[in-house]
Chain A
Amino acid sequence: MAEEFPVVGLDSAAREAVELLAVRRLPGLIVVDSKGEPHSVLPASQVVRFLVPSYVQDDPSLARVIDESLADQVADKLANVPVRRLLPSDPVELPVVNHDDTVLEVAAIMARLRCPLVAVMKGRKIIGAITASRLLELVVTPH
């Protein structure tokens, strides 16, 4: 059920990681540490959250008072920033499953962690990932 999936390092350039998300329309990225072991999953929604200024998150009505040309500058925040800066400040549980886990086990992890993507491990090696859409495809496809 696992598919090949791109991974990025903690110190990779955030801009390149976000371009990867955008071009391939991925729900998220698997982030690995310097040893190549999974560190976290970076959901696309977390990147969007990073791009929105904290004052707009505190007071969403301010998003409307900013004109389009100023709003376009939000992506400037990605310049010279590593991927680790995009991750939530509080550590979250790593969404990983074993290669022989069932669909229900994978769904349970996704539901509990509210994550659109889980890394699939065989031993300490990442062999791929399962996205929420891939999981749903498996659920609804007649066997």
Chain B
Amino acid sequence: MTVIAVVVFVVAYVLIATEWTHKLLAALGGAAVLLAFGVTDSEHAFYSQETGVDWNVIFLLLGMMIIVGVLRRTGVFEYVAIWAAKRAKGSPLRVMILLRLITAIASAFLDNVTTVLLIAPVTLLVCERLGVDPVPFLIAEVMASNIGGTATLIGDPPNIIIASRSGLTFNDFLIHLTPLVAIELAVFTLVLPRLFKGSFAVDPDKVHNVLRLNEREAIQDSRLLIKSGAVLLAVLIGFVGHALFHVEPAVVALLGAGLLVLISKVPTKDYMGSVEWQTLLFFAGLFVMVGALVKTGVIANLAEVVGDATGGRPLVAVMLILFVSAVLSGIVDNIPYVATMSPVVLELTKGVTNHAHAHALWWALAAGADFGGNATAVGASANVVVIGIALRAGYPISFWEFTRKGVVITAITILTAAPYLWLRYFVLS
């Protein structure tokens, strides 16, 4: 059974990484084979939190997708982005800094793909008005999205998986990862002019084209905006207090989604259309496959190997997880990577007595996997989406054009995260 679990997992992983088949087919196919061979069963696959589908993750994603589906109809994101571009007074560098900041903040609360789907069209509009190449702006924004998404429990799917497996709360993420993300964004801002050297020249005559954009027209329905804003605020309060109220984040998100659907009166097909069913099913398949590895003892053995390799020293384990996660997440999608590594890290934390050190293992996984998504053009779903939008607009971004910048930013963010983790959890704790 162990051999079948490993072979099916490796084959599915190769198919997902190489995209020889659709990733959904690989994940569900792998899960089906494991069920057919009796490696796992319905009890373990559907009802066990350790070895089966993590419904907290699935329903948290579902709830947030519905909330975002209604929220994006308000036009508030476009309003803020155009308002910021006008405040930049036509300076391309200032436009880039502000749009990147908005992207990072939005990504902390919305999923990264949704955020870039919202910011990329506005960016193309502003850049066209300024007569500057939008490619550096789009690359900077998607990188800010991957960095900003690291800040909260709901910012990036890997964080949702980590939270569910580790039991860490929304506030834990805010306290431990948000300061790191703030530092990363400050460093990113400092390197922007050098990273995108030569991208900021603008014809002064074109500046007024941006100033003539009317951001107020972007707000389509002010009543919907007020309702959505109120529900989003309530959901965020629910997230912050979920440990206090003894309510899982998934329940908070689902209640918020239900309330918003009820009061917004948005047609069913509109908000259900924003749910990425394929992503949810992909997660389900992944959880069954990883659960089979847990059930057959493969994960426990892997954790033992990692523990031995680090000599039981938590700092070495933290740095190993950080750097290996960054490299692997640049090559394969960080969602299957974190789904696999979370049980391994959970096993590792059982052998660590110091709570700060145990938490540092989780933060290393989150930072490594999330920041690592910037390394290549295929490292994160948001990268692929932005490259597609740019291509349709007539601005192709090659794999290497993206990766040249991505490797630099990943190296900078990981080299910033390493001393943060060392200082905060090993020197100052």
B126 CB to closest chain A CB (Å) equals 10
A58 to B391, CA, bound (A): 13
Contacting residues, chain A, for B389 (C-beta < 8 A): 54-55, 58
Selected contact of A53 from candidates B78, B128, B217, B220, CB within 8 Å: B128
Interface members, chain A 9-68 (any B CB < 8 Å): 53-56, 58-59, 61-62, 64-67
Label chain B's interface by main secondary structure: helix
In the bound complex, how far is the Cα of B212 from the Cα of A69, in angstroms? Answer: 10
**Chain B contacts with A in 181-234, Cβ cutoff 8 A:** 209, 212-215, 217-218, 220
**Residues of B in contact with A, size category:** 20 to 34
Cβ-neighbour of B212 out of A54, A59, A67 (below 8 A): A67
Q: When the two chains form their complex, are residues B122 and A62 in contact, meaning their CB atoms are under 8 A apart? A: yes
- B212 engages A62 (CB within 8 Å): no
Q: Residue of A at shortest CB range from B213?
A: A65
B393 at the interface (CB under 8 A from A): yes
- A70 CB–B CB distance under 8 Å: yes
Does B415 sit within 8 A of A, measured CB to CB? no
Q: Is the CB of A56 within 8 A of B212?
A: no
A window 70-89: CB within 8 A of B: 70
Residue B176 is within 8 A (CB to CB) of chain A in the complex:
no
Q: How many chain A residues touch the partner (CB < 8 A)?
A: 14
Could you say which of B121, B129, B215 contacts A59, with CB atoms under 8 Å apart? B121
Main secondary structure on chain A at its contact with chain B? helix
Select A58's contact among B82, B121, B214, B220, beta carbons within 8 Å.
B121
Which residues of chain B are near A54, meaning CB under 8 Å?
Answer: 124, 389, 392-394
Contact, CB under 8 Å: B217 / A59: no
CB distance from A55 to the nearest CB of B (A): 4
What residues of A have a CB within 8 angstroms of the CB of B122 in the complex? 55, 59, 62
CB proximity to A under 8 Å, residues B96-120: 117-118, 120
Is the Cβ of A59 less than 8 Å from the Cβ of B118?
Answer: yes
Say whether A55 contacts B218, CB under 8 Å. Answer: no
Top 4 A-B pairs ranked by shortest CB distance? Answer: A55-B121, A64-B217, A59-B121, A55-B124
Q: A62-B122, A70-B209 are in contact. List 9 more A-B contacts (CB 8 A).
A: A53-B128, A54-B389, A55-B124, A55-B128, A58-B389, A61-B217, A62-B78, A66-B213, A67-B212
